[in-house]
Every structure is written in C-alpha cells, then in structure tokens.
Amino acid sequence: MKVFVLDPINAKGVELLHKEAEVVLWDDPAAAGWHGEADGVIVRGTTPLKEADFAAAARLKAVSKHGTGVDRIDLDAARRNGVRVMNTPGLNAEAVAEMTMTLALAAARRVPMIDRMLRSGQPVAREDFDGSRAGGAQGFWGKTVGVIGMGAIGRRVAAKWSAAFGMTVLWFDPFVPEAAGGDLKGERITDLDQMLGRVDLLSIHAPLTKQTKGMIGGPEIALMKKSAVLVSVARGGIVDEDALYDALSGGSLFGAALDVFEQEPPAADHPLFSIPTFVGTPHIAAGTVDSREHTAIAVARQLLDVLEGGKGSNILV
C-alpha cells in the first residue's frame, strides 16, 4: 500500500508509516502525482481536498487529517467516492489552550508593543503601561471571560482561566446538548449578544461553518466593553477582520489577538498589523513538540488501521 503525506508532520508519525507502507512525503516531487497512486493520504490544514481530487483518486481509500478542522476537505465528495475521512480531535487541545492564554495576556499587558519599543530604542514610560495613566495594561484576575465553543479546547480554556485567575466563566455553544451543559464550567449563555457586553475577555474556539462565518462582526464587537480583549485561535473568517481593524483603530476595543486569518498566511501589509494593540501569530497555537508528536503518531496509526482492513477511529465519513 502507498501513503502520501501531503503536508509536513512530525518525524515520529513518518517513522511509523515507513514500517507498514511505501511512503511519499510532501517535499518529494512525486507527491504531485498522488491522485493516481495513493491508497491513503495524510493532510494538515494546508492542502485542500476537493471534488476533483476525490474523483481523480481511484485507488484512494482513506484520508487522515492531522488536527481537528476539516473545512478544507469536501466531505460530501469523499462520501460519494467511498473514501473514509478521519481527524484527530483533542490531541492538541492542551497546546491550543496554553497559546490562547499566551495571546490574551500578551494583548492585555501590551507585551509585543513594549518589546518593539525597546528594540527600536524608543523611550518607554512605565506610567503609560502600569495603570498610572489612562489606557494602561489590563489584568484578568477576578474578571469575566466569555468562551465561544465548548469543545475540548474551549473547556480547557474555561477551566484554566477560572482556576488560575479566578475569572467568572460565561460560555456560548448551541451545539452542546442541554443535558451535558450542566457538567461544564461556568454559566451557559443562550443569546450571544447578551454575553458580549459582560465579558472582559472573549475567547473564540468554534469551528468554521456557514453559521459561524462572520459571527463576530461590527455589531457584535460594538456590544463589547472598550476595555475588553478579543482572542481567536479557531478559524479565520469567524471574526470579521475589517470590523476588528475599525474597532481597534477607533479605540472601541482595548486589544485583540488572532492566530488565524481568513487568508493564510496573511499579507505583510494586512491592516491589522499596523495596529499596535493587535497581536498576530500564523496559525501555530497547536504547535508544540509534544502535541505534534502525539498527533503525528495518531494520524498515522488510524490511517494504517483502515488500509489494513480495520475500522479506524474518529470517523467523519
């Protein structure tokens, strides 16, 4: 059997694949011909799999997605062509939760802004950032965090802010069954607009769907406190980037951080990068050595299982 790894994964997963299959990696020119030869494919978030890909891949039996999001895989096309699609949910949840807190604190305490000032030789007045003057850095102790999306990542984020910072947790997720909601940290909010005005930190962890695309736009941001911070490590397109720029440049939002953008990688001249109170990272929230090793091994194991006649795991199609 022949496996094509179309996007980079950790070496531990590659080693496992080599023990059971012929493997073609992303940097091999032969990878471009995967449609005619692949029994199995591994992708991350870079390579899309569309209708034409599935139609052209006559031998393809299974796709194993490194990570959770499958918005770049046409699941209906996979189903029509008899291809099994799997993902690896939850394995990077801890890393993403840690990065969520990192970005929120960086934006609230103005860390990147101060760092840039120091490196460029600009004078830094402590009073501009320590709260002695208006507009100083924000803290989160004892304040309120609103979490959108209470999957594996959202739940960890809520628990961490509550335990480490004594924050009140509000959460919004219409897809959590009513019976399960009582087991989650914090207060469930059924109307997103009612939550936005109460939070000091908005943390977004929803998948990108037709329902969530643009769900945080100008009207929603306008409901938030001027002292609030917005963070998204979910998917680009959930937050309206133009509306976020308007809010930050107009001073109606204290700060924001995005690990995800509608166009990835974002252009160097993206308007948000001109805003000192904005922090951006290139979709790296899940990227620690530990999480990458675990996910690479899992994505390889479940693909090999299916190709060897097993049922696989985390089946989406």
CATH architecture of 93-280: 3-Layer(aba) Sandwich (3.40)
What does the pLDDT average to over 275-289?
Answer: 94
Question: Tell me, what's the pLDDT at 180?
Answer: 66
Buried b (16+ CB within 10 A) or exposed e, 243-272: bbbbbbeeeebbbbbbbbbbeeebeeebbb
Hunting for tokens 């139609």 — which residue is that? 55
What does the pLDDT average to over 190-195?
Answer: 96
CB burial class (10 A; 0-12, 13-18, 19+) of residue 183?
A: exposed
Question: Tell me, what's the pLDDT at 125?
Answer: 86
Question: Tell me, what's the pLDDT at 134?
Answer: 72
| Catalytic residue check, 20 | no
- List, for residues 229-278, the tens digit of each pLDDT value: 999 999 999 999 999 999 999 999 999 999 999 999 999 999 999 999 99
Q: Which of 235, 292, 294, 301 is catalytic?
A: 235
Which residue blocks in 109-214 are alpha helix, DSSP H? 111-119, 152-165, 178-181, 192-196
- List, for residues 104-115, the tens digit of each pLDDT value: 999 999 999 999
Q: Which of 283, 292, 294, 301 is catalytic?
A: 283
114 φ/ψ sector (left φ>0, alpha ψ -120 to 50, else beta): alpha
Instruction: Tell me: pLDDT of 179 over 90.
Output: no
- 24 phi and psi, to 5 degrees? -115, 125
Whole-number mean pLDDT of the chain? Answer: 94
| Catalytic residue check, 283 | yes
Residue 77: strand, helix, or coil:
helix
Q: Which of 22, 51, 127, 264 is catalytic?
A: 264
Question: Tell me, what's the pLDDT at 181?
Answer: 63
| H or E, element range at 312 | none
Percent of the chain with pLDDT over 90: 86
Instruction: Tell me: pLDDT of 310 over 70.
Output: yes
- List, for residues 79-91, the tens digit of each pLDDT value: 999 999 999 988 8
Q: What are the residue ranges spanned by the domains of the chain?
A: 2-91+289-307, 93-280
Asked whether the beta carbons of 64 and 300 are under 8 A apart, the reply is yes
Domains 2-91+289-307 and 93-280 alike in fold: yes
Q: How many Cα atoms are found within 13 Å in the side-chain-facing hemisphere of 1? A: 20
- List, for residues 132-151, the tens digit of each pLDDT value: 777 789 999 999 999 999 99
Characterize the bridge pairing of strands 144-148 and 201-204.
parallel
The reply to whether the predicted model has a pTM over 0.85 is no
Per CATH, the number for 2-91+289-307 is: 3.40.50.720
